[in-house]
Amino acid sequence: MTRILIAGYQHETNTFAPSLADWAAFNCGESFPAYMRGQTVIDQMTGINMPISGFMDAAKRWQWELVPSAWAGATPSSYVTQEAFENIASAILEDIRNALPQGLDGIYLDLHGAAVAEHADDSEGELLSRIRQLVGPAMPIVASLDLHANVTQRMLAQSDALVSYRTYPHIDMADTGELAAQLMQRRLKLGRKEPMFARRFPFLISLNAQSTWMEPAKSAYDQLLAREAVVQAMATAGKVAAPVVIADTQDNPGAGGDSNTTGMLHALLQQGAGKVFPGQVAVGLVFDPAAAQMAFEAGVGAQIHCSLGKAVPIFTGQLSDPPLQARFNVKAISDGRCVLKGPMMTGVAVQMGPSACLEIDGILIAVVSGKVQLLDRELLRTVGIHAEQMKIVVVKSSNHFRADFTPIASEVLVAKAPGPMAADPADLPWKKLSPFTRRQP
C-alpha cells in the first residue's frame, strides 16, 4: 500500500504589517483551524474546502495509507516568529523520522508559499530543504500553494512538484489538493521529478485588481486551462469512469490539416499519461503512411523503430512539434477498411489503407495511411482501440467528433496544440481579407 505523510504550514506574510505571527497565533484558531497534530489532522480537515482535504479525498479513492503529521495556519500578518516556525518544522521533521523506518513512499505539504520567518526569508524553502536533507533525493515531495505564493528557486529545487490555486477568491483549495495528489500519483508511477520552470516578472499587481472573476486575471487563467489540457484531462480522468476527450483542433484534416502533428502526443508522454493510465490513453488518427506500412509489415507483437508524425509549417511562421523518434510496440494491424456506425455518416465505407495501433509508454496511437478526420469511433475500433474503454482520447477533429464521442465522454476539452489550422481566425496572417466597413446608422 502506498504510504504518504501529510503536513501543513500556512501563513501569508506581509513584512510591512504591524503584528507578528507568534506561536500563540498558530494555536488560537482564528481564520484558520488551530494547530493540530496526528490523527486530529485527518479528523478535523476532512470534508472542508482546504488543500489537505482535497488531497486526502483523492488518497482515499486510491487506498493510500496516510501518515498525519502537523498542520499549522495563522491569520496573515508580519513575520512568523522564530519560535513558531521552529516548533512547526520540528514537529514535521520528528514525524518524518518516526515514519521512515516503517516505510514512506512520499510526502505532501499543504503550504502557502509566501511565509517569511524572522530568521528565514524563504521559510517554505527552508522547511523543504530540511525535509529533503532528512529523506534524501529520491523521496517524492509534492506541495500545494496559494495563488499568492512567492515561489523561490530553492522551493523548486527541493520539491518534486508544486501546484497552486487558480481562483481568487480561492474557491478551488480542495481541488488544488486533488491536483497535488494527481502529481504525487504521477511522480510515483514515473519515478522522476516533474519538469518545473519559474520566471519572475518585473511588475506587481495591486491586490484589489487580482480577482480571477474579472479582467485581466480572468483571461490569463482561462488561457492557463486552455494550455494545460493534458494535465486537466488527467486530473478529471482519475475521478470519473467515462473518458475525457481532447480535440486536437489545430490539426483537423476536416479543415485542411494533415493530421500528423505531434504536439499532443509529446504532451501526453511528458506528463506520463500512459503510465498513470496504461493502455487507456489513445491518440488518433495520425496520418503517417510510412510508419503505418512498417508496422503492417512487421505484424502484431513486433517492435519497430521509426519517426512518427511530422513538423509542419504553421500560421505563426514556425514549425509544429518535431516527429517522435522512438521504438513502438505493434498492438494491432488492419487494412484500414471500415463502415462508419456513428450518427454523422452512418453506413459510409472508409478506406484508410494499411493501418496500425502503435503503443509507447502505455499510450495507444492509431496510425493510418489515409487522411481521415476522427469523427466516428469505428475508425479507432479498426485498429483495436475502443474509445469507451479509454481514460483519455485525443481526436484530430474540431466538431464532427462530438456526434459520436460526446455520448461516451465525461468531459470534452479543446486543445490548441501547434498545428496549421488556426482555432482562432484572428491568429491567421490574412493577405486578401476585405476591409471591414461598419454600416452607418
Range of the domain at 355: 233-424
Q: Are 159 and 219 contained in the same domain?
A: yes
Say whether pTM exceeds 0.85: no
Per-residue model confidence (pLDDT) at position 182 = 84
CA dist 374 and 396 (Å) reads 6
**Domain-located, residue 433:** no
Does 153 share its domain with 204? yes
> Which residues, 6 or more positions from 280, have their beta carbon under 8 angstroms from its beta carbon?
362, 389, 390, 391, 392
CA–CA gap between residue 7 and residue 159 (Å, rounded): 14
Residue 430 lies in a domain: no
Q: From CA 266, how far away is CA 277, in angstroms rounded?
A: 16
End position of a domain, from candidates 171, 196, 225: 225
Angle at alpha carbon of residue 301, lines to 297 and 304, rounded to 5° = 55
* 213 and 346 inside one domain: no
| Cell output for 290 | 510510412
Question: What 8-state DSSP symbol labels residue 240?
Answer: -
Same-domain pairing of 102 and 173: yes
Q: Tell me, yes or no, whether 30 and 74 share the same domain.
A: yes
Residue type, 47: G
- The single residue listed with the C-alpha cell 505523510 is 5
Is position 268 within any domain? yes
Report strand pairing: 324-334 vs 355-360.
antiparallel
112: in domain: yes
Q: Residue 212 has what pLDDT?
A: 78
List the chain pLDDT tens, one digit each, 441 residues.
899 999 999 999 999 999 999 999 999 988 899 999 999 999 999 999 999 999 999 999 889 999 999 999 999 999 999 999 999 999 999 999 999 999 999 999 999 999 999 999 999 999 999 999 999 999 999 999 999 999 999 999 999 999 999 888 898 899 899 889 988 988 887 777 766 777 777 878 777 787 877 887 777 776 665 458 887 888 888 888 999 999 999 999 988 899 999 999 988 987 889 999 999 999 989 999 999 999 999 999 999 999 999 999 888 777 888 899 899 999 999 999 999 999 999 999 999 999 999 999 999 999 999 999 999 999 999 999 999 999 999 999 999 999 999 999 999 999 888 888 888 787 778 777 776 544 444
Same domain assignment for residues 76 and 155? yes
Comparing CA positions, the residue from 77, 99, 74 lying closest to residue 9 is 74
438 within domain boundaries: no
pLDDT of residue 319: 83
* Domain match, 299 and 271 both: yes
Q: Are residues 206 and 272 in the same domain?
A: no
The three grid cell numbers given for residue 215, joined into one nine-digit string: 479582467
User: Does residue 210 sit in the same domain as residue 246?
Assistant: no
Residue 293 identity (one-letter amino acid): Q
312 and 352 co-located in one domain: yes
- Looking at the fold, whether 204 and 351 belong to one and the same domain comes out as no
Same domain, 239 and 160: no
Residue where a domain stops, chosen among 225, 249, 268: 225
User: In 3D, which of 69, 105, 292 has the Cα closest to residue 184?
Assistant: 105
25: left (phi over 0), alpha (psi -120 to 50) or beta: alpha
Number of domains in the chain: 2
* 261 part of a folded domain: yes
CATH code, domain carrying 185 = 3.40.50.2300
